[in-house]
Amino acid sequence: MARVTLTDVTKVYPGGVTAVNRVSLDIADREFVVLVGPSGCGKSTTLRMVAGLEDISAGAIAIDGRVVNQTPPKDRDIAMVFQNYALYPHMTVYKNMAFSLSLRRKQLGLSKADIDLKVREAAALLGIENLLDRKPKALSGGQRQRVAVGRAIVREPKVFLFDEPLSNLDAKLRVEMRSEIRRLQKRLNTTTIYVTHDQEEAMTLSDRVVVMKDGVIFQAASPLEVYESPANRFVAAFVGTPPMGFIEGRCVGQNGDAAFEHGSERLPLPKKLAQAATGFSQRPLVLGIRPDAFCVRQSGENLPYAKLKARVTQVEPLGDRKDVHMTTTMGTKLVGRVDLRAGVCEGQELDMLIDMTRVHLFEPGEMGRNISVVPVRSAAGEQ
């Protein structure tokens, strides 16, 4: 068990690429933190610096208050699980799992029986007791992944590091292994840092999601907070399926009369949003609407719905809901996820209703700040 603290950590690779730029993050003992972001955003580099597999160009990484910048990986008391499993092909599952402990048996003060017990306990935890005599080539992808996790568990490290461990598995197995890793982490109570490019994996696994882009942290918060109060438009668009839609316009009017104008349309703003937009009057802004904030027919009496004219281009049924793809009068494409029974068909022009308590206002641009929330943590990293 351990706390991991990154303070202004920077990595500049030879050749000048700044892969990680002044990242600060305080990971609590037992916390499960997932670093997520598009390919190349610096998440693996961050993890590898914690592991000691990459030098740190500037800043400090501490484990339990002790700066480990110069500590070799083997002395950091961490265990890492890689995407490609990295099992020894010539060893049985048992030997793969026992190997790191056997190497340091004397140093750790363990008997052979101690190691045997640890391997068998970890194997039981992962349901792979019947595979201990097999070699990796005789295992499925999911089984290999379990062995790789088992090898990390037997070491009882202070910190688990996972680098895209499920990427090589098929979709169904990935979902199964995901819940298994979550369950294991809660059971073992070991501080965990997990890297993935998959926002859904990040949202389902973590206590805290750290959204990165271009080597910086945009937001570090609980999955719910990242979903409901994204710090900026990039985070808003990255998290959630189908993604949030954005319409451009400006805020006009004041007090009880404030509205968002999109072309010739006027969407009345509830009080809280109108207040947030004070000071942005007549300036270009972007309204962010999650698909499930749309509906076709009003369900509550006094909810602050706004109407938006749209032409339906496609309807996709999905069990009890359906996705309505549409284009606004200004040519902006949006997706609404509505009740399956809602009467709406392709080619139709209609007034879509939007629950205005659930929309967000962003400053313009891909990284535009969300002005409708007071961020708990700043976009430059967790402070």
Residues in contact with ligand ADP by CB under 6 A are: 13, 15, 17, 19, 37, 39-45
Q: Which is nearer to ligand ADP, 13 or 88 (CB)?
A: 13
Q: Which is nearer to ligand ADP, 78 or 286 (CB)?
A: 78
Return the closest-CA partner of residue 174 out of 206, 215, 142.
142
Nearest distance from C-beta of residue 54 to ligand ADP, angstroms: 8
Q: Which is nearer to ligand ADP, 291 or 381 (CB)?
A: 381
Nearest distance from C-beta of residue 170 to ligand ADP, angstroms: 22
Cα 316 from Cα 324, distance rounded (Å): 6
**Alpha carbon distances (Å) from 255 to 36, 247, 258, 360:** 39, 22, 6, 18
Nearest distance from C-beta of residue 37 to ligand ADP, angstroms: 6
What are 149's two structure tokens?
């996790």
Strands 333-339 and 4-12, bridge-based pairing: unpaired
Q: Which is nearer to ligand ADP, 5 or 21 (CB)?
A: 21
Nearest distance from C-beta of residue 52 to ligand ADP, angstroms: 15
Cα 2 from Cα 192, distance rounded (Å): 9
List CB contacts of 38: < 8 A, sequence separation 6 or more.
Answer: 197, 213, 238
Q: Which is nearer to ligand ADP, 114 or 366 (CB)?
A: 366
List CB contacts of 23: < 8 A, sequence separation 6 or more.
Answer: 6, 8, 9, 10, 42, 46, 59, 212, 215, 216, 217, 381
Nearest distance from C-beta of residue 73 to ligand ADP, angstroms: 16
Q: Are 217 and 25 in contact (CB under 8 A)?
A: yes
What are 76's two structure tokens?
């950091």
Nearest distance from C-beta of residue 17 to ligand ADP, angstroms: 4
Cβ burial, residue 383 (10 Å; 0-12/13-18/19+): exposed
DSSP string computed for 216-264: EEEEEE-HHHHHHS-SBHHHHHHSSSSPPEEEEEEEE--GGG-EEEETT
Return the closest-CA partner of residue 355 out of 288, 293, 275.
293
What are 228's two structure tokens?
């409901």
Nearest distance from C-beta of residue 49 to ligand ADP, angstroms: 9
What is the amino acid identity at position 378? S
Q: Which is nearer to ligand ADP, 39 or 107 (CB)?
A: 39
Nearest distance from C-beta of residue 222 to ligand ADP, angstroms: 22
Q: Which is nearer to ligand ADP, 34 or 247 (CB)?
A: 34
Cα 145 from Cα 285, distance rounded (Å): 46
Q: Which is nearer to ligand ADP, 125 or 220 (CB)?
A: 220
Nearest distance from C-beta of residue 171 to ligand ADP, angstroms: 21
Q: Which is nearer to ligand ADP, 44 or 232 (CB)?
A: 44
